[in-house]
Structure 1
Amino acid sequence: EIQSMTERDFLAKTNVELAFVRPASPTATVTPPVNCPSWVCCLLPCIMRTEGMRLYTNHSPKEVNVMRTGDTVAADCRLLECSEDFTVDLSALANEKLPRVCSVECTDKENGVLSRNMVFMASAVVKGDAIGVVVATGDNTVWGQLISNHKWPLVTDVSNAESERFIGNKA
């Protein structure tokens, strides 16, 4: 799993150059859910036209992504560098009550998606700065998979244990 590799091995395997920027790719879009609530289906076309949402379509796997306080993470990324206080809010994605403090260290080798060196599309950067490599875009992101499996938008009474199954905000 790429989440648990050393930085050197990860960069070698993915052929990522930190100064390399790839052109925008149509694979970075999320397919709207078929059986979604009508309010979501009505809003998606409008939301996707906003300037901030257009950023989601500008990322490709293996591309370097810089994240700062106030940003919304535009793709699933593995962190290469981050400030000690780099914190993301996963509440829109997983109903987590507390923001997650991230690090470049792999904290869960058995289930890499639960590791704190991963950040996910649609998460909000609460504090700090980070550099990450895009590992998934569009339908291949955690958010895209939740939508495809009809598990998003989340029901507000979902227990912490249920959301932990998807993201895992372990202490």
Structure 2
Amino acid sequence: MAYNRKSPPTSNRLYKEEKEDFSVQTPVELFCENQTSVDNTSRRMTSSASVIDQIWTDIIVFDSVGAVEQGTKSLQSQLQAGWTTDQASQRREQDGSFNVVKPPIDCPNWLCILLPCINHLASMKAFKAIQPDDAEVLRNSKWIRYDAASLVTGDVIRLEEGDLVPADCVVISIEDDDDLLVDLAAVTGHERPKSISKSASTRSKRQLYMGGRVVQGRATAMVTAVGPQTMLATLIRETRFPPKEPILEVSMDGSGESGIPLESIS
């Protein structure tokens, strides 16, 4: 079932402003610069884990006591207004990168032109098929269609049927009565779509990964990891992409469910 929701306005100006705020570098240039230190990447992953923990804590309180309670005011405010342009720029500096994932075969453009067969390798074809161009994000209290490379942790995004999941995120709310179904086969190797219901009570049951595709439903989610910190980037670094067999998802909330260890994907 397709949803004919009116698309939000684009915001090339906003993207240009944020890019200028961050050293006037393109996402690819900045990403390459940020890959020079393994230690820096590890620190960013640790920071991402703390962001996920805080977001999940807020969501649990939000679900249990409602948006009117004191404990959920920060989440409630975020869901109503999202980040401002300045806040997004500050968050991007903390993230340390734009929302760009290094491809499985990272070669200069001139080499890819000389050797076009590189782009036809299975890993490269699979990678290109799940790269999101844009995302619907709440920025400056307005919903806009925005360059996916400019998403930051804490961004509030909307997902609907046909969308590629633009970053690792946790589902906050589901619209309508149907469960949200997301095809994560390209990332996890599981052929059956992941089903998320309104009653999902653990983080692992609400977690989505960059590169998934929504096949049913509409939802609001919050970005928990971008670029090098996403599970997709981790799998590529470990040469496990595309997955040749289903990847067991380890629980990230201590519930004992199976899953990829938090320290390897945060």
TM value normalised by structure 1: 0.71
Alpha-carbon distance change, 128 to 143 in structure 1, aligned in 2, over 3 angstroms: same
1:121-155 Cα deviation digits (max 9, x unpaired): 10010100000011111111111111111111122
Correspondence for 1:5 among 28, 48, 57: 57
- 1:122 corresponds in structure 2 to 211
- 1:81 corresponds in structure 2 to 173
Map 1:1-171 onto structure 2 (within 5 A): 1-2=53-54, 4-7=56-59, 8=62, 12=74, 16-21=78-83, 22=85, 27-33=98-104, 38=118, 39=121, 47=128, 53-55=132-134, 56-83=148-175, 84-103=178-197, 107-108=201-202, 112=203, 115-155=204-244, 158=245, 160=246, 163-165=247-249
How much is the aligned-residue C-alpha RMSD, in angstroms? 3.8
Partner secondary structure for residue 78 of structure 2: coil
CA apart distance, 1:29 = 0.3
CA apart distance, 1:58 = 3.0
Unaligned segments of structure 1, at least 5 residues: none
Find the aligned partners of 2:235 and 2:72 in 1 and give their Cα distance. 26
Aligned residues: 157
CA contact (8 A) 1:79 1:104 kept: no
Find the aligned partners of 1:6 and 1:134 in 2 and give their Cα distance. 14
Q: Which amino acid aligns with 1:153?
A: P
By percentage of residues, which structure has more helix?
2
Q: Which amino acid aligns with 2:233?
A: G
Q: Which amino acid aligns with 2:166?
A: A
Partner secondary structure for residue 57 of structure 1: helix
Q: Which amino acid aligns with 2:235?
A: L
Find the aligned partners of 1:153 and 1:124 in 2 and give their Cα distance. 15
TM value normalised by structure 2: 0.48
Find the aligned partners of 1:40 and 1:145 in 2 and give their Cα distance. 18
1:37-63 Cα deviation digits (max 9, x unpaired): 942676699x49xxx733231311111
Q: Which amino acid aligns with 2:188?
A: A
Q: Which amino acid aligns with 1:74?
A: P
CA contact (8 A) 1:86 1:102 kept: yes
Larger Rg: 2
Percent identity of paired positions between Structure 1 and Structure 2 = 21
Q: Which amino acid aligns with 1:20?
A: G
Alpha-carbon distance change, 10 to 105 in structure 1, aligned in 2, over 3 angstroms: farther
Higher relative contact order (Cα pairs below 8 Å, separated by 6+ residues): 1
CA apart distance, 1:119 = 1.1
1:2-35 Cα deviation digits (max 9, x unpaired): 475242357737x734322556865200022358
